[in-house]
Structure 1
Amino acid sequence: MMADHNVGFWGGRIPREVVSMAKHLKDLDKQLFRQILKAVVNALDDEECSGCMADIIEGNSLSEDKLSDIVSGMHELLREALRVPPSSVNQESFEEDLRELRIFEEFITDLSCTVFGHGRPSLDSSVTKHGPRLPKLEKFRWRVDVAISTSSLSRALHPTILMQLTLFNGTLHQFEVSLSKFQELRYNVAHILKEMNDLEKRSVLKIKDSHSH
């Protein structure tokens, strides 16, 4: 089934909204598809889109549920595509990944032009501005603490790690972990860094391979 496909562009399982969108696109003609695409692009680019959506709802027999699935899936598809640097995925690879979703070729062309066309810089700016922003780490301090005298016998003479995180907004977080948990944290961080390095290498190899064909 389509939901079981793992498409290279996503690097994992395809978002449910995109799978649902792909199923409904077969019910659209080219004109309606482009109307919806324009509305979604306007939304991503911080432009007025309510008028476009009203025209779409009034001008065709597509159910509101189907239209909602198509709009949310297209928004998710483009948002994820714009979060990937152009240097990490080329246009041919992007289009091939969409073919795996069984999207019509003429629709693929329009989506590809949206992601790789001249309007990309403006969309990049909007997506970056409104994308999720996690707190950045400003300072990280830690020290080993050994409790010589404590009311808890289980903690006596067992070293713990005191950690203090300072975020870029000035928020301070302080917590304590056991030595075993600290070692587990070190291992997991090292493992994640290795996985990220492997993913970067595979991405570079994929780009080189696509250029060689």
Structure 2
Amino acid sequence: MSIQDLSKSNISYVTNCPSEYTGRIIKLALACIQPKQQDLLKPLEKLASETKISKDQLYEILSSYTAIIRHFIHTDQRDFVSNMVEIGYPSEFVERLPFLNNKEELLHTFFAPYKAYFMNINIIKWRIDISLLNSTLLNKLAPNILISIQLKNGQSYTIELNHKAFHILRFNVALALKEMKNLSQNTALAKFINK
């Protein structure tokens, strides 16, 4: 879900949420964005029982804050504030967001540990290794795919796959990327949490 997908009811739920619960909801939204899976059902149920907010409204508020935080991470502060006001959030609400002036701290605290996993890869190359055979060999050798991964620290790894294993790998990577795209565009975080 992006902030452009937020409806007027989402904006109303978020702006009318009691301020004493906003911090806890933002922490849950940050946990939703984390690459490491966390079980958020119990904290959400506890928060719903402590407040007069229905579970559906709480899911809408949580999905809205998740979209807001994602937008905040991917834009600079000036554009973020103008986009939020343009969508319909009051400027007083935007100015009270606890992470507004703490982008570096937010990135360092919540996302820096996972950045190392993706930033270590320097080069990925692949090629098809075809062995030329003469007619005297009885067994034909199937072509193999060689994948070479070089890390920034200089370490290099080479993986040899047959064509079936390579296609399975390629298919699973494409499937994972498709699922990540679908999750980022999902308008109902409640569906994800209830699974």
Normalised by the length of structure 1, the TM-score is: 0.46
Could you say which structure has the greater relative contact order, defined with CA pairs below 8 angstroms and 6 or more residues apart?
2
Normalised by the length of structure 2, the TM-score is: 0.49
